[in-house]
């Protein structure tokens, strides 16, 4: 079933001098994708309202005083956007340096590729540069919170809260560089409102939230994505029939995700579908 959208007017925008026609209400990022431009994103989530916090997707809009976040700024008719101008590239470079120098990006997909592409040098801030390094929080058997890898994109908070799960177990606490994702009074997850749906893990862009299985295998050095197969199937627990994607390595399920393009669940699962595979 393909959900039908109401008809939308098309508007013309220019991306790097190239005319692109997109439906009204599209973001600059949509227009860039339509034009085949590869704009890096971190905090953008295909199933969430853009928070535009990471600022790695900034582009130059002609006539604007500051750069615009492509992920959230709506395209307007006649807008002239530069995705690869010197100013945009420079900002992306420094943003990658700021993130790379304060956060562990080792498990962030494409981080290394972008760092090379933009010539970012996270080491330039010296050895004393403040970081968010801290021990990983392992307080339950299902998933691990390794906030040394957290770029504070707010996606887990949004997925846990009103955008998907409505559980509100976590929020951003503190301010500025000291801000963290936290339960109330930093209580362990087992004491919190968490229902272990793992929808936060699903949207985490850096691997700060991961399955305990993945975390342990990475620690042992046995995690190897090239040896994994992905099989999409249907959850066997209830009648909803959510899609599950089983990540299998060495004939064992090591992680469960869900397709984001499923029109009903949009990548969300409950604790049973996400973690209840022990019987297999």
Partner 1 sequence: MDLRFRGAQPSQEERAAVDDLLGPPATAWEGGARTELDLRMAARAEEARDLLLPALHAVNDRIGWISEGALEYICRRLTIPPAEAYGVATFYSLFSLEPRPQRVLHVCTDLACQARGAQVVRDRVEERFGPPGKDWHESPCLGMCERAPAALALEAGQPHRAEVYAPATPETITTITGAAPRANGHAPSLEVAGETPVKEAVPQAGEPGLVLLRRIGVVDPASLDDYRAAGGYTALRRAFELGPAGVIREVLESGLVGRGGAAFPTGRKWEAAARQPDHPHYLVCNADESEPGTFKDRVVMEGDPYALVEAMTIAAYATGCAKGYLYIRGEYPRATARLQHAIATARSRGLLGDDILGKGLSFDIELRRGAGAYICGEETAIFNSIEGQRGEPRSKPPFPVEKGLFGKPTVVNNVETLVNVLPILERGAQAYAAAEPKLFCVSGAVERPGVYELTFGTTLRELLDMTGTTGTTRAVLLGGAAGAFVTELDIPLTFEGTRNAGATLGSGVVLVIDDTVDLRRLLLRIAEFFRDESCGQCVPCRVGTVRQEEALHRLSRRVDDSDLVLLREVGQTMRDASICGLGQTAWNAVESAIDRLGVFNR
Q: Which is nearer to partner 1, 144 or 151 (CB)?
A: 151
* Distance, CA of 146 to CA of 53 (rounded, Å): 20
Place of tokens 């994505």: 225
* Distance, CA of 49 to CA of 26 (rounded, Å): 13
Q: Please, what is the minimum distance in Å from the beta carbon of residue 169 to partner 1?
A: 6
Stretch that binds partner 1, among 150-158, 216-224, 236-244, 255-263 (CB under 8 A): 150-158
Residues 206 and 155 sit within 8 Å (Cβ to Cβ): no
Instruction: For residue 261, state whether it binds partner 1 (rule: CB under 8 A).
Output: no
Q: 122 - beta bridge partners?
A: none
Instruction: For residue 148, state whether it binds partner 1 (rule: CB under 8 A).
Output: no
Q: Tokens for 111?
A: 């981080």
Q: Which is nearer to partner 1, 160 or 242 (CB)?
A: 160
Place of tokens 């956007």: 81
Instruction: For residue 129, state whether it binds partner 1 (rule: CB under 8 A).
Output: yes
Q: Tokens for 279?
A: 């019987």
Q: SS3 for 242? A: coil
Instruction: For residue 140, state whether it binds partner 1 (rule: CB under 8 A).
Output: no
Place of tokens 């691997």: 207
Instruction: Report in angstroms the alpha-carbon separations of 7 from 4, 24, 207, 261.
Output: 9, 10, 38, 21
Instruction: For residue 192, state whether it binds partner 1 (rule: CB under 8 A).
Output: yes
Positions in 33-62 near partner 1 (CB under 8 A): 52-56, 58
Instruction: For residue 124, state whether it binds partner 1 (rule: CB under 8 A).
Output: yes
Q: Please, what is the minimum distance in Å from the beta carbon of residue 189 to partner 1?
A: 11
Q: Please, what is the minimum distance in Å from the beta carbon of residue 262 to partner 1?
A: 25
Instruction: For residue 67, state whether it binds partner 1 (rule: CB under 8 A).
Output: yes
Size of the site for partner 1 (CB under 8 A): 52
Instruction: For residue 152, state whether it binds partner 1 (rule: CB under 8 A).
Output: yes
Q: SS3 for 181? A: strand
From residue 158 to residue 177, what is the string marking binding to partner 1 with x (rule CB under 8 A)? ---x----x-xxxxxxxxxx
Residues 42 and 153 sit within 8 Å (Cβ to Cβ): yes
Residues 235 and 198 sit within 8 Å (Cβ to Cβ): no
* Distance, CA of 30 to CA of 179 (rounded, Å): 31
Q: Please, what is the minimum distance in Å from the beta carbon of residue 213 to partner 1?
A: 26
Instruction: For residue 94, state whether it binds partner 1 (rule: CB under 8 A).
Output: yes
Instruction: For residue 63, state whether it binds partner 1 (rule: CB under 8 A).
Output: no
* Distance, CA of 65 to CA of 52 (rounded, Å): 17
- Applying CB under 8 A, which residues contact partner 1? 52-56, 58, 66-67, 69, 72-74, 87, 90-91, 94-95, 98-99, 101-102, 124-126, 128-130, 151-152, 154, 161, 166, 168-179, 182-185, 187, 191-193
């Amino acid at each position: 079933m393909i959900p039908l959208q109401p008809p939308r007017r098309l508007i013309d925008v220019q991306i790097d001098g190239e005319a692109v026609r997109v439906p009204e209400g599209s973001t600059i990022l949509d227009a860039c994708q339509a034009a085949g431009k590869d704009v890096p994103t971190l905090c953008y989530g295909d199933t969430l309202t853009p928070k535009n916090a990471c600022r790695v997707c900034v582009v130059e809009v002609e006539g604007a005083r500051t750069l615009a976040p492509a992920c959230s700024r709506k395209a307007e008719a006649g807008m002239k956007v530069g995705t690869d101008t010197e100013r945009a590239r420079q900002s992306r470079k420094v943003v990658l340096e700021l993130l790379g120098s304060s956060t562990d990006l080792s498990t962030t997909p494409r981080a290394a590729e972008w760092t090379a592409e933009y010539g970012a040098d996270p080491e330039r801030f010296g050895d004393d540069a403040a970081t968010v390094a801290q021990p990983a929080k392992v307080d339950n058997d299902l998933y691990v919170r390794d906030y040394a890898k957290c770029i504070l994109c707010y996606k887990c908070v949004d997925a846990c809260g009103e955008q998907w799960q409505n559980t509100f177990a976590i929020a951003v606490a503190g301010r500025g560089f000291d801000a963290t994702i936290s339960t109330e009074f930093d209580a362990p997850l087992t004491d919190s409102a968490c229902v272990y749906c793992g929808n936060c893990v699903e949207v985490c862009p850096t691997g700060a939230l991961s399955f305990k299985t993945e975390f342990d295998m990475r620690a042992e050095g046995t995690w190897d994505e090239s040896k994994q197969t992905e099989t999409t199937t249907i959850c066997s627990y209830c009648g909803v029939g959510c899609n599950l994607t089983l990540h299998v390595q060495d004939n064992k399920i090591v992680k469960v995700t869900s397709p984001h393009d499923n029109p009903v669940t949009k990548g969300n699962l409950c604790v049973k579908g996400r973690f209840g595979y022990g019987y297999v």
